[in-house]
Structure 1
Amino acid sequence: MFGGGKAGKTLAMDQARAGKRVAMVERGLIGGSCINVACIPSKALIRSAQMHALVRRAADYGTPVEAGLDMPAVAGRTAGVVAEMVAFNRKGFEASGLELVLGWGRFVAPRVIEVQSGDGPRRLTAPAIYLNLGTVAAVPPVPGLADAEPLTHVEALRVEELPRHLLILGGGYIGLELGQAYRLLGAEVTIIEQAPRVAAREDDDVSDALLKVLEGDGVAFATGVAVSQVAGRSGNAVTVTLADGRSIGGSHILVAAGRKPMTRDIGLEIAGVALDERGFVRTDPSLRTTAEGIWALGEVAGTPMFTHASLDDYRIIKSGLAGGGYVSTARIIPYCVFIEPELARIGLNEKEARARRLSCRVFRMPMDAVPRARTSGERKGMMKALVDDTDRIVGFTMFGAHAGEVMTAVQMAMLGGLPYQAVRDAIIAHPTLAEGLGLLFGTAPGNT
């Protein structure tokens, strides 16, 4: 196993427990990027920010209190959550019987990996090699940006002093999550997005709802404009010059402008592993690469950049090892953006349905119509669902409190091929947020 992300470590432990001799080469992120520098620490930071914001508005619930901020304690809590997860993963590795080889690796011959570690170089080979190398934050070639030593999501999760004014390049999901978190903690935040809208892959009404909520939190936006130059040093003073001539000054700058695969300078060409035009590993639906005996899993193989999608790649490999036929095509992969309130989606949205020339009815409803949203004071957002001509649900989007949990109920209905009426007429406990699904599918649909 070359790389120890979610798919790789799960497969490695599985095969080791089955009695096979397994070595997992990892540069140093024990457990993968998710628990070290991505999902787990970011959600820990976000939770701290949400708690800080809730305390600040506790008077709305009849409990006025003073709210202070201990940023080193916030960073310490995040680090503590990560440390616990790393220890848990290391214990799992040891129990499984796999050999963890820590160090930088590269191919030096087909199916031969040389690892540079503290003990010196070591060469490993096997009849089957699995690449689970992951991705890293991309830093665009904007003049002055690299010299400004910008934060990426990695460094942003370890800041012990609250930025005075954080400038974020990128209005995608990482930029929105971290931008709102730092704003809730008390920093000024400006998000700069070259596209006309933030969260550009979502429908316009969802993007507009996101923008309205984040602007209500005090996040500033500059959309539809490129960055032409950056000057200064992040952590001190930095100035971003936009293509329209405007300049925006801040204390820190964070790059959240996409990710690039970890495929450079590791000898993949020696192994015979071909890459696509973006540098990701080319695979077939069974995740085989162009090299005999080598497979690729997770983000490096172009799998959607979610831990749960990477885990499903493990299932594909496991199926293949058992002689099954599970492949990557036709998967429906949900995702959730952990802003406040959450954004969750499964299946198609209106833009995608129109692009496919699919006739759908659209059900939509504001979260304010759900009784539980009113009692909890979490009334922001909306639900919407797409239903095809056979009454099957083909897409669901929710922007509201605990959207990820509610989405899963719809996902189960979609997997079961249930008509939307089954969800509409289900007896759902009152008052819950999921009860809103019955209300949603009871509304008069429109068409798209």
Structure 2
Amino acid sequence: MSIEQYQNLIIGSGEAGKYLAWNLAKMGQKTAIVERSMIGGSCPNIACLPSKNVIFSAKAVSLANPSSGLGVMSGTLQVDMAGVARRKREMVEELVTIHLNNFKATGAELILGEARFTGSKTVQVELQSGDTRQLAGERVFLCVGSRASIPNVPGLAAARPMTHVEALNLERLPEHLVVLGGGYVGLEFAQAMRRFGSRVTILQRGPQLLDREDPDVSAALLELMHDEGIEVILKAELLSVAGRSGEEVRLKVRSASGEREIVASDILAAAGRTPNTDRLGVDQGGIELDARGYIRVNEKLQTSAVEVWAMGDCAGSPQFTHVGYDDFRVVLSQLTSGGRTTTGRLIPYCLFTDPELARVGMSEAEARSQKIAYRVARIPAARIGRMQTLSETRGFVKALIGENDRILGFAAFCAEASELMAGVQTAMLGNLPYTLLRDAVLTHPTASEGLTVLFTSGFANPVVSGAK
């Protein structure tokens, strides 16, 4: 079998891979991109956009419920899960069409199949059609992503738990959903399914939800879950599982209160990610992995193999689509004589619960660990006029300010937090003092106007010494 030669060979059509393929192909370079299953990667198919689509349906349920007090509806409220799934599916189909048109317009060759290294910068592709092709690239780029991990618990794998993939395709309402994990995916799905009408239990191994956040953030989320009617068990150890998810499952759980059995209808595994490098044959390509299976890269996203780069989840980058896009920009910069690297990137985070949690920069714990002195500006969300107009006054906004008046970190747990964060992040990127936002004339009544309130009247706390 002859080996087909390309200037650029990209494995995986996720965020970084597809943008790199489109841009290199538009430059007139012969470029092929191999995709195992999902055109455009996980974001438009099974992750970011579909999940937010479903979450918005759950938001609509909460707003239409007469108990919300908005005065827009009365009578019995019914949830059509098939309709929720259909709306999501229609959006995905439209996005896939857009991606296919982009591949056609740019001239990047999309090859549907699974690639495995057979040598340096050479792969064998098992095509979806059943045929095989041998491909080689002068340069190779890996963007193979990650998948939900299934914890090694007796009986769990045999119970066939859902991951976010299956949960997004549900056309029925689980009677009682047990969510394994109190991180981003677990919390978003827990709240959505509860609002649709499921009974929901979250099992979190650690002592708090979102174990990397400051205690005040985690406590606010725990209170939210409780108020939504979601049972949360912290310091929970799942000992064993019996039964089949989707029918009936029995979970034996140990926590601070002792051992108990939870009988439920469904399990959602949301307890971490596993890189999709195990079937890639990286050893044949001379590509090193770290102890967790992620591809080793430097600040330029170069691997241990010459002229081979890795991007996105599989490279150990923060697992967000916006980071995958920046990884593309880093690699493209390397190919076009630019100097962009991953060093010092300011990465924003957003949890799309209702209300949202948005954070960028340092947490208080991180500032203390680095012995950086800071002071905290903090206000309740109710101080922001926009929240009053929405009748969504839960939460708070806080910022960490350094000794030079620069913003070290920012966290917002409130409605429209994701949009509120962007202005602060811009100020941080520009190394601007917080006083610039304090003194700005911001539109009333918007969420961003809350920054004026925050930086004018939020300093009730003294400077905190990071050395403590």
- TM-score, scaled to structure 2: 0.94
Deviations 1:35-59 (A, max 9, x none): 1110011011101111011111376
| Cα distance in structure 2, aligned partners of 1:58 and 1:246 | 34
8 Å contact from structure 1 (residues 423, 441) kept in 2: yes
| Cα distance in structure 1, aligned partners of 2:43 and 2:27 | 25
State the partner residue of 2:168. Answer: 157
8 Å contact from structure 2 (residues 358, 413) kept in 1: yes
| Cα distance in structure 2, aligned partners of 1:263 and 1:414 | 35
AA partner of residue 436 (structure 1): G
Q: Measured at CA, do residues 222 and 58 of structure 1 come closer, stay the same or move farther in structure 2, by a change above 3 Å?
A: closer
State the partner residue of 2:422. Answer: 408
State the partner residue of 2:188. Answer: 177
- 1:119: Cα distance to partner? 5.0
2:84 matches 1:74? yes
Q: Secondary structure of 2:34's match?
A: strand
Q: Secondary structure of 1:246's match?
A: strand
State the partner residue of 1:10. Answer: 19
Q: Secondary structure of 1:317's match?
A: helix
2:244 matches 1:230? no
Q: Secondary structure of 1:128's match?
A: strand
- 1:249: Cα distance to partner? 1.3
State the partner residue of 1:318. Answer: 332
Deviations 1:180-210 (A, max 9, x none): 0000111000000000001111110011111
1:240-389 matched pairs, under 5 angstroms? 240-243=251-254, 244-389=258-403
| Cα distance in structure 2, aligned partners of 1:328 and 1:220 | 39
Q: Secondary structure of 1:127's match?
A: strand
AA partner of residue 333 (structure 1): I
Q: Secondary structure of 1:290's match?
A: coil
Q: Which runs of no fewer than 5 residues in structure 1 stay unpaired?
A: none
AA partner of residue 388 (structure 1): G
State the partner residue of 1:444. Answer: 459
Deviations 1:76-133 (A, max 9, x none): 1111111111111111111110100000110011111110111511000011000000
2:64 matches 1:55? yes
Q: Secondary structure of 1:123's match?
A: strand
| Cα distance in structure 1, aligned partners of 2:228 and 2:111 | 46
8 Å contact from structure 1 (residues 191, 221) kept in 2: yes
- 1:445: Cα distance to partner? 4.3
State the partner residue of 2:155. Answer: 144
State the partner residue of 1:38. Answer: 47
- TM-score, scaled to structure 1: 0.99
2:149 matches 1:131? no
Percentage identity across paired residues of the two chains: 44
Deviations 1:140-165 (A, max 9, x none): 11000001000001000001110000
| Cα distance in structure 1, aligned partners of 2:449 and 2:49 | 29
Q: Secondary structure of 1:104's match?
A: strand
8 Å contact from structure 1 (residues 361, 445) kept in 2: no
State the partner residue of 2:96. Answer: 86
| Cα distance in structure 2, aligned partners of 1:239 and 1:398 | 38
Q: Measured at CA, do residues 57 and 411 of structure 1 come closer, stay the same or move farther in structure 2, by a change above 3 Å?
A: farther
State the partner residue of 1:115. Answer: 125
AA partner of residue 143 (structure 2): N
Deviations 1:394-417 (A, max 9, x none): 100000001000000101111111
State the partner residue of 1:215. Answer: 226
8 Å contact from structure 2 (residues 62, 68) kept in 1: no
8 Å contact from structure 1 (residues 58, 64) kept in 2: no
2:113 matches 1:103? yes
Q: Secondary structure of 1:211's match?
A: helix
Q: Secondary structure of 2:435's match?
A: helix
| Cα distance in structure 1, aligned partners of 2:66 and 2:292 | 45
| Cα distance in structure 1, aligned partners of 2:432 and 2:165 | 41
AA partner of residue 444 (structure 1): F
- 1:361: Cα distance to partner? 0.7
8 Å contact from structure 2 (residues 63, 70) kept in 1: no
1:194-205 matched pairs, under 5 angstroms? 194-205=205-216
- 1:63: Cα distance to partner? 2.5
- 1:20: Cα distance to partner? 0.4
8 Å contact from structure 2 (residues 350, 356) kept in 1: yes
8 Å contact from structure 1 (residues 361, 388) kept in 2: yes
More deviation, 140-149/371-380: 371-380
| Cα distance in structure 1, aligned partners of 2:130 and 2:241 | 42
2:419 matches 1:419? no
| Cα distance in structure 2, aligned partners of 1:419 and 1:198 | 32
AA partner of residue 13 (structure 1): W
AA partner of residue 85 (structure 1): L
AA partner of residue 53 (structure 1): S
AA partner of residue 72 (structure 2): T
State the partner residue of 1:19. Answer: 28
| Cα distance in structure 1, aligned partners of 2:421 and 2:293 | 33
AA partner of residue 101 (structure 1): I
After TM superposition, what 4+ stretches of structure 1 lie above 4 angstroms from structure 2? none
State the partner residue of 2:4. Answer: none
Deviations 1:4-45 (A, max 9, x none): 110010000000011000000000200111111100110111
